[in-house]
Amino acid sequence: MTTDLAVSLDGHRPARVLAVAQYGAVRTGGAERYCHETVTRIRQRGLAVETLYGDGAGSAMQLHRPWRLFSGGLHPTWRARVEQLLHARRPDVIYAHFTVPGLVDITLRCAKARAIPVCLVYHSDITGTDWLRRLVGAAYHRTLGRGTLGCADVVVVTSDAYRRSSPWLSAQRDLSFALHRRGSMTRSPTGYGSTVTPICCRRQGRRQEQGLRCAL
């Protein structure tokens, strides 16, 4: 069963969406501006959207700023705070933007434990031009990154070419992918395809298939 546009899974209220990213301040960079724009468009569709950002810019809860490691980072209080938020707000869907390690890794694991559907917008692999950043990126993916991807019900990427070229995405055989092109979603040969943008969907064979679609 799939719910379209702004109606919740129970059909009696606007769907509650929790948008999550490491950074939310639009002055930070292009990924943060993109996240802000998509959240704005989701709200315009009538969904009840709250935001949770590691830099304190979110509306749902103020978090301690992360202990930084390169561009990512986390804080030891985050997991308990995220658990508290999910229990109190009970979102229908998690709409997460992965840019750097940290808050998204924690939130997706908490969401999976509560069987909350997750749509993960995957911006890029964690890597770099120097050997140290490449080493840190490889260590992240082998310890946390693969598990984070496994918590998502659908992973949104910019192109199928990028999905194939990424050593981490291409190694995931059981993920559902969606391709984001010019504000719409198109079918990936390995995953979910739709004429509307899926904020989230359940995967058949993993959990009962249900979820939410929202045209952006």
DSSP 77-141: THHHHHHHHHHHH--SEEEEEESSSSHHHHHHHHHHHTT--EEEEE---S--SSHHHHHHHHHHI
pLDDT at 2 over 50: no
Q: Specify the DSSP element, H or E, that contains 200.
A: strand 200-201
Cα–Cα distance list, 143 to 29, 90, 136, 202 (Å): 27, 28, 11, 25
Query: pLDDT of 128-148, one tens digit each?
Result: 677 777 887 787 788 888 888
Taking residues 40-44, report their average pLDDT: 88
For 136, the token pair is 């840190």
Percent of the chain whose predicted confidence (pLDDT) is above 70: 72
| Greater model confidence, 33 or 80 | 80
Taking residues 23-37, report their average pLDDT: 76
The angle subtended at Cα 83 by Cα 82 and Cα 88, nearest 5°, is 95
pLDDT at 188 over 70: no
- For residue 115, the domain's CATH number is 3.40.50.2300
| DSSP label of 192 | -
Cα–Cα distance list, 157 to 15, 32, 188 (Å): 24, 16, 10
Quick one: pLDDT at residue 213? Answer: 53
Quick one: pLDDT at residue 5? Answer: 45
Q: Using DSSP, state whether 71 is helix, strand or coil.
A: coil
Write down the pTM of the prediction: 0.76
H helices, E strands: number in the chain: 6, 12
Query: pLDDT of 98-127, one tens digit each?
Result: 888 889 999 999 999 999 999 999 887 777
For 5, the token pair is 């546009």
Taking residues 26-53, report their average pLDDT: 84
**Alpha-carbon 128 to chain mean position:** 22
d(CA 86, CA 63): 14
Total domains in the fold of the chain: 1
Give the domain extent around 145: 2-213
The angle subtended at Cα 34 by Cα 9 and Cα 25, nearest 5°, is 100
pLDDT at 1 over 80: no
Residues with Cβ within 8 Å of residue 201, at least 6 apart in sequence: 2, 117, 119, 153, 154, 176, 192, 194, 209, 210, 211, 212, 213
Quick one: pLDDT at residue 210? Answer: 45
